[in-house]
Amino acid sequence: MTNIPTIQPDATPAEILRTGIEAAKGPVSLACSFSMEDVAIIDIAHEAGITMGVFALDTGRLNEETYEVADALVERYRMKIDWYFPRHDDVERLERADGLFSFRESLDKRHACCAIRKVEPLGRALQGLSGWVTGMRREQSVTRSDLRGIELDHLNNGIIKINPLLEWTEQDLIAYTEEKRLPVNRLYSQGYRSIGCAPCTRTVKPGEDARAGRWWWENPEHKECGLHRR
């Protein structure tokens, strides 16, 4: 079993990232949704000279603004993004049987949609990797409060999972992206604070947590798509 290295409480994101990649002892990639968090991680790795891959899941229902960020990152960092897509037959079968918005009918149906559009493609993306990097932060929601900087992903064959921004607040993130003039999804300026598939994401009201706009018809403890079940 892979040993999880100890992370000091004051470790920087670059230190967490570097330590996690070294512990993985093999190829590591960032799962990039082109969120503000993921953009910051790409810049942090670039500044620190840390090498990692980047992959993205195109669910078929992303916002145009998300693709704009992807294009800006390729231009700025001359980087390669490995895109993964849901299997066409599975999407066709789902929509023929249950319609275009079945995910709003029940938690089970929403999980079924996420399984096809996100979880199965993630499984293919992680094949051959020794570790993966996420932009998750503890502050985001109740489902992420026990997050660790480096952990084992038992849902994906026990590979290393690295969360370098776990301690960052939303203000830390905004300050970093503004200081570095990083590409940021235009939807943030319209009141979005967490951006996923277009039909499952809306603006966040004052006082709500950052992920309140994701699957807003569900209870907070259910707001994960299956990529980060704990």
Q: What is the DSSP letter of 5?
A: P
Q: Tokens 């891959």 label which residue?
A: 53
CA proximity to 131, closest of 217, 5, 221, 46: 5
The pair of structure tokens assigned to 39 is 């953009």
The C-alpha atoms of residue 15 and residue 19 are separated, in whole angstroms, by 6
Pairing of strands 53-57, 82-84: parallel
Q: Tokens 């800006």 label which residue?
A: 72
CA 80 to chain CA mean position, Å: 17
Contact of 66 with 34, CB cutoff 8 Å = yes
Side-chain-side CA neighbours of 162 within 13 Å: the count stands at 33
Main-chain dihedrals φ then ψ at residue 162, nearest 5 degrees: -115, 125
* 225: annotated active-site residue: yes
The C-alpha atoms of residue 141 and residue 138 are separated, in whole angstroms, by 7
Annotated active-site residue in 113, 197, 200, 225: 225
State the catalytic residues.
Answer: 225
